[in-house]
Structure 1
Amino acid sequence: MENQKHTITMSMKLEFDKKEYNAIKSLEAICYEKQKTNLKLELDFKMYQRKNSIKNKIMAEFFYYDNEILVGYLGLCNFHGTSVEVSGMVHPEFRGKGIFKKLYLLAQEEWQKLCPAEVLVLCDHSSSSGLAFINRIGAEYGSSEYKMCLNKKVLQANSNKGIKLRVATNKDTIEIERQSSIYFGSPEKEADNEEDIENTSIQIDDNFISYIAELEGKTIGKIHISTTDNEGFIYGFGVLPEYRGKGYGREILCLALDILKKKQVDNIFLDVATENKKALGLYESCGFEEISVMDYYIVS
């Protein structure tokens, strides 16, 4: 019997298809099973951004195959402003072969063409291999965030302040971008023309929904929820400055949790910056518990 030819393939794509999505998720599961490494790949959110952004986002996907099996992956994405986030992984049995370095250098060529204001490499706080790579490239620590999961044993009490969550429509695009600029420091995006706004869909389907929080008909905040693999996620949550300190944030969060619970998801997750003590206190008081820490390193 002839020996099979050993093939190595590297590729870059601007978006992934369903087969590639499943391959990335499988590799992520292997990495977690072997080393309990948490990753922030945001695959579903990236698909949402690609389909619904008014202007093009900085996104790219890099794949490393060994005999047609995905053993290395790196993704680029910018969620807020012009900063680019870099995240990825290598199969535990294929580490020490320079795979991630090859993917990183390929990705570096791509982002240098776009000249982002900042490049951030993400790494699980407990990942020794990830931290070793970051040390090799000389990236500097920038910040951290907690990934939190709702403790099902803690019951949420809605204070009933009269807030309603309204499903966002295409007409809310500019308002959502405006609020994001307030909460996350990202610059507001401008549509090239009215047709861009009309063609921008806020809601993909029942798996990713944006909500506008209203009190007596006035907009006071926003929140996004998504579901994938029978798990729920909360994104982009915020209350406008003039409405803070009145308990509205808690009610908005509880209303979103009620929506996710009705979907009968197994778990509900969110991320929060470690320095955001007010938000952290709110989430903890609503029953969320820290399950991992993600560090952000700035590439010089």
Structure 2
Amino acid sequence: MKLELTIVFSERQELTGYERDAVENIKRLCLEFDGYEPGIHFDARLNAIKTMPAIFLAEAKGASGESRVVGAAFIFAPGRSEGEFSACIDPLFRRSGLFSQLFSMAVNTLVSAGVPSLLLVSDGRLGNGGSIARKLGAERSYGEITMVLVPKKSRLESPTALYAGSVRLVPFSHKELDDLAALPADIFVGSFQDERALIESSIDDPACEHYSVRSAEGIVGLVALYGKDGDYMINGLSVLPSLRRKGYGGAILDAVISILRRRNASSVRLEVEETNVAAIALYRSRNFTEESRTEYWRVSLDSLGYAVP
């Protein structure tokens, strides 16, 4: 018996409940097939361009009308200088052109939005992500480690840093955004423009919290929190270059963890570059453990033959 299937591609800004369940099922199938779950998440709240489609789906439809999601891709673009691309394909439908079509749709979307560069995201524990990236002419840019803390199961060590306990987390408001321009450029995880775009895109979202960190010396750093259903992500924890190695990083981390403990957070995650030995040691000292590794491969869209406006 020959099974006739038609593959239909579509794009959207968010998933329905059915679509989310379908993608989660693909992730489970990939976990069984590859040994690792693909690190793909479909939260577009932090994308700087709110009108830009961020999710791309491939559905297999039968002659009698039944359908099944067999591939999905996501663009994460918190700034306007580059977008991250991640995808997962049902193992039964691999090597059938689905990845190429989803990739093409995502790239065209970024080009239309004027985003000039692309980061291909792959699981650092697998080898196939790098091979795909190299075929596209991408070069490995950096790697990140995702670390997790379960507050109810871990004890926060007593801070020993020189300035620990002396910081306040002050929520950002719209009128304080201009204060960012006065800070040294290398305090930001990315560029100042991308940092401002990220804050502007999410400052009114109750699930996103942006803080300036202050002490008697004024602003000493920045940090952000993103939470959903008791699970939180710490993002952009940074200290002014002139005040580093004085314990402020640990003080900020302790203040954030204390806040989340009071909220009865289920889990707290953060990402750190694999080469940042000092930060990894700090997080381990607060009982964060490694959960996964991610590689980022950068390619300019011009080099792929696309004319970015």
Task: Give the TM-score normalised by structure 2.
Answer: 0.78
Quote the offset at 1:293 in angstroms.
Answer: 1.4
User: Aligned match of 1:188 in 190, 193, 200?
Assistant: 193
Q: What's the secondary structure of 2:210's corresponding residue?
A: strand
In the alignment, structure 1 residue 165 sits paired with structure 2 residue 160: no
| CA-to-aligned-CA distance 1:166-199 (integer Å, 9 cap, x gap) | 22222233445776953223142699xxxxx9x9
The 10-residue stretch of structure 1 (105-114 or 235-244) with the greater mean CA deviation from structure 2: 105-114
1:231-250 equivalent positions in 2, closer than 5 A: 231-250=231-250
Partner of 1:194: none
| CA-to-aligned-CA distance 1:35-83 (integer Å, 9 cap, x gap) | 3435444533x21x25xx5x66866321111233222111223234502
Structure 2, unpaired ranges of 5+: 62-66, 304-309
* Conserved 8 A contact 2:185-2:192: yes
**Partner amino acid, structure 1, of 2:121:** L
Q: Distance in 2 between matches of 1:268 and 1:249?
A: 16
Q: Distance in 2 between matches of 1:240 and 1:271?
A: 19
Q: Distance in 2 between matches of 1:71 and 1:283?
A: 37
Q: Distance in 2 between matches of 1:190 and 1:292?
A: 25
* Conserved 8 A contact 2:79-2:193: no
**Partner amino acid, structure 1, of 2:55:** E
Quote the offset at 1:253 in angstroms.
Answer: 0.5
Structure 1, unpaired ranges of 5+: 192-196
**Change in CA separation of 1:114 and 1:121 when aligned onto 2, cut-off 3 Å:** same
Q: Distance in 2 between matches of 1:274 and 1:225?
A: 21
**Change in CA separation of 1:21 and 1:274 when aligned onto 2, cut-off 3 Å:** same
Q: Distance in 1 between matches of 2:176 and 2:30?
A: 39
How many equivalent residue pairs? 286
Q: Distance in 2 between matches of 1:239 and 1:145?
A: 19
| CA-to-aligned-CA distance 1:217-255 (integer Å, 9 cap, x gap) | 822212111223432211111112232221011011111
Q: Distance in 2 between matches of 1:98 and 1:147?
A: 30
**Partner amino acid, structure 1, of 2:89:** V
Task: Give the TM-score normalised by structure 1.
Answer: 0.80
**Partner amino acid, structure 2, of 1:87:** S
Quote the offset at 1:266 in angstroms.
Answer: 2.8
Q: Percent identity?
A: 25
Q: What's the secondary structure of 1:105's corresponding residue?
A: helix
Q: Kindly report the root-mean-square deviation, in angstroms, between the aligned alpha carbons of the 2 structures.
A: 3.3
Partner of 1:257: 257
User: Aligned match of 2:60 in 61, 66, 74?
Assistant: 66
Q: Distance in 2 between matches of 1:59 and 1:66?
A: 21
Quote the offset at 1:90 in angstroms.
Answer: 1.0
Partner of 2:156: 155
**Partner amino acid, structure 2, of 1:16:** E
